Amino acid sequence: MEKCIEKTTVIYAPDESSIGTIYFFLGQLHMLQQNFAEALSCFQYCSNLHWADTQNHRYLLDFAIGKVLQSLKQHQAAIDQFSIILNQYPDDPYSYFRRAWSHKVMR
User: CB–CB of 78/102 below 8 Å?
Assistant: yes
- Kindly report, residue by residue over 77-92, the tens digit of the pLDDT: 999 999 999 999 999 9
CB 61 within 8 A of CB 46: yes
CB contact at 8 A, 65 and 47: yes
The residue ranking higher by pLDDT, 98 or 3, is 98
Which residue segment(s) compose the domain that 58 sits in?
Answer: 2-106
| pTM of this structure | 0.86
* CATH number, residue 44: 1.25.40.10
Report how many domains make up the chain. Answer: 1
Separation between Cα atoms, residue 75 and residue 101, nearest integer Å: 9
Say what angle helices 75-88 and 55-71 make with each other, to 10 degrees.
Answer: 160
Q: What is the pLDDT of residues 54-77, one digit of tens each?
A: 999 999 999 999 999 999 999 999
CA nearest to 54, candidates 20, 30, 79? 20
Mean pLDDT (whole number) for 40-55? 92
- pLDDT reported for residue 19: 84
